[in-house]
Chains A and B, each alone.
Chain A
Amino acid sequence: MRRALSVPLAAALVLCAMPAFAQVKATAQNVPEIPYDSVPNFLKLPPGRYLGEAIGVATNSKGHVFVYTRSANTQLFEFDQNGVFVREIGPGAYNFEFAHSVRVDPQDNIWVVDEGTNTITRFNPEGHITLVLGRRPPAVQGMLQAPLPGPKPPAAKYTFGRPTDVAWDPQGNIFISDGYVNHRVVKFDKNGRFVKQVGSENAGPEPSQFNTPHGIAVDANGNVYVADRGNNRMQVFDNNLVLKSIYDNIGVSWTVCISPGPHQYLFTSNSNPNGNTPGSWDITGEIYKMELDGTILGKFGHAGKQLGGFQVVHMMDCRNPDQIIVAEIESWRVQKLMLKPSAAPARPTTTAAR
């Protein structure tokens, strides 16, 4: 259900009191199940290469698949459209420490967001770094001290606090969800100059505040969709970061993806929590397919260890809205899901995927 902009105070207080990252059952009712198959053995790694926590996944215009993974070291792998390993990009690059997100822009540049180095880095298709936002804390300063008690310093324009994701509007403006330490969305122009932010260094439950903005996507009209994970909702902003609406019936919005083309679809994952807390498999793990206006079209997936089940979906690629690629944390796995055409969305299909 779409929700206009008034969050009742009571609800805000409840959200505030709730521990971050709890398991939350979505309140959406009578959502049709979308049947799907998971392609067996989708990514074929050469001997001696392993995925760790899969964390980030994206495709380029040729269908090549990029996986940003917490392996022995954080690494960025490229596979072709059939899942055959192509190469490792930027081995040992200075921005690689603790993977969080990978996205591919319309020019097939590969952007990675690393929450271990507070950087957003653009690789060109050849694999060379052409833009860096944020700064890795200098090693010479040693490990950062735990924050002192008292108010946090204001979030700075050009540095991040464990950023989580990146997206672009059609003009090339850059939007960054930032993150675990700051709780804001930052807009830069295409040349990397600060334009504006919404949210701040402090978490909050009010509209236009965030509690760990964890994923971000922009539609063809430049509207900005933010997975406001700790607040169990998605917030939608216009291009100037003015709030338009809140979708709060989809459980915990871990990550968000918008398909290209004339009719865009919105996907969000109510991922099961890390650690598979008791009872979580019963009420979490599904991915929602939505219209941009928040209308839920269907859902698919469930928590589970076996192929076809999910272990904390962390990122999705939806370049083809009928072929969703998901990266999972706890199974160290990337799955390609072939969604089957279902009957009219209003009529629930009964092909249970679980």
Chain B
Amino acid sequence: MKRIIQLAAGILALAITPLAAQLVVPEIAYDAAIEPLKLPPDLNFGEVAGIATNSKGDVFVYTRTGHPTLSLGTARPFAHGGSRMFRFDKTGKYVGEIGQASYAMLFAEKVKVDPQDNIWVVDQMANTIMEFDSEGRLVMLLGRKAESENVPVRGAAPPAAPGGGGAGGGGAQAGGARAGGAAGAGGGGGDPEGGGGRGRGGPPGAGGQQDVFNRPTDVAWDAAGNIYVADGLGNNNRVAKFDKNGKFVRSWGQTGTANGQFRQPRSIAIDAQGLVYVADAGNRRIQVFDADGNFKTKFLNVGTPRALCITQGPRQVMYVSNSNPPENIDYDGEIFKVDMTGKLLGKFGHAGRLAKEFNGVNQLECRTENEVWAAEIGNWRVSKITLRGAASTN
């Protein structure tokens, strides 16, 4: 009996031990500046969701700040505000704001800069991906913001509990029902009207064959300029591909744990060969696809990947954050340096609020191998990380 209990405990311990912890991964020496960007006296970051740099070293920060507001009209509440994007020059000096008072900056998720220095903004609540040129003019829009928001009525029966068999866990952002509305519960079976989300034409939990997103999380491009969207934290669990003009090409994935299925894809990046890397956070893995969505391989050694970036240049590496949920600093939080085959080259950091600690990293930016920017939801800040290169490749 006692032995059985011991055995059970051993199995349990194995089951809950992160895979990454079972490997000997070298620690990378690093420094981190927690105030690399100088804000004007009247400005503060809120939750910093997005961080990106352009080819000149300008820095863009997409942050949840201000007052997320519902205003009343025709018996429907309309959502406004709640996020802003700030621009800094390469010395960290504040330059200005992009997209202020725009229609769709509600709940910041990511900001990315493409090779032409256009600035792409992913908003998780507006369900939009906005492309601004380097001057801040809107040049393309994917998705559409919902006309109004559903708000639960006090005293009304609560909606069904989230998600049978779906992705429930993984932090407060995971899964939650959107305002009690039809775009329901976390990663569950999807909308009975088919297609999951609000789209049509795909299998359950796959979303529609169109640019209708459900809490999208990230965007990336291949060398031809095709656009790939990670979609998302709602009940689409897919990658949607568009051509460079924004015309829908295909999507792949649906809710699930099999190869090619997702539970809450949170980040996407594409390497020089055109392979597509998706941080499949709810399944605690990175999946790798070719440009047509054919499954190639998966990496199971990176904890819960909430953020992913790939360096530029001839020899690419990626950084992956095993981010702690911003509601708890007692576990996770390390960032892995990974080669393109999935081998862990090193790691650094852990969850916390001090300098050189990280709290809820939501995006990583890594143009070069020894300079990494981290957007921290839990610490309302940007960390600029300088790696000392001790554990560099080969």
Residues of A near any B CB (own CB < 8 A): 73, 88, 90-97, 126-129, 131-132, 135-143, 145-146, 148, 156-159, 191-194
Contact = CB atoms under 8 A, between A and B. Distances in A.
B66 A145 contact: no
A228 B33 CA distance: 41
Contacts of A73: 67
A143 B151 contact: yes
B135 interface: no
Nearest to A129: B44
Nearest to B234: A140
Contacts of A131: 353
Range, interface on chain B:
35 or more
B124 interface: yes
B64 A94 contact: yes
A138 B174 CA distance: 11
Interface of A is mostly: loop
Contact of A138 (B45, B151, B173): B173
B158 A145 contact: yes
A193 B271 CA distance: 38
B205 interface: no
Interface string B284-307: 000000000000000000000000
Contacts of A142: 149-152, 177-181
Contacts of A93: 44, 46, 65
A193 B181 contact: no
A353 to B, nearest CB: 40
A121 to B, nearest CB: 8
B172 interface: yes
Contact of B154 (A90, A139, A141, A146): A146
15 contacts: A88-B42, A90-B42, A91-B42, A93-B46, A94-B44, A94-B380, A127-B41, A129-B45, A135-B326, A139-B106, A142-B177, A145-B158, A148-B158, A158-B328, A191-B352
Interface in B32-90: 39, 41-42, 44-47, 63-68, 79, 82
Nearest to B42: A91
B328 A92 contact: no
Contact of A192 (B39, B159, B329): B329
- The 3 A-B pairs with the shortest beta carbon distances in the complex, nearest first, are A142-B179, A94-B46, A139-B68
B152 A132 contact: no
Interface string B130-154: 0000000000000000000111101
Contact of B215 (A91, A97, A132, A140): A140
Nearest to A94: B46
A140 B178 contact: yes
Contact of A94 (B39, B65, B177, B327): B65
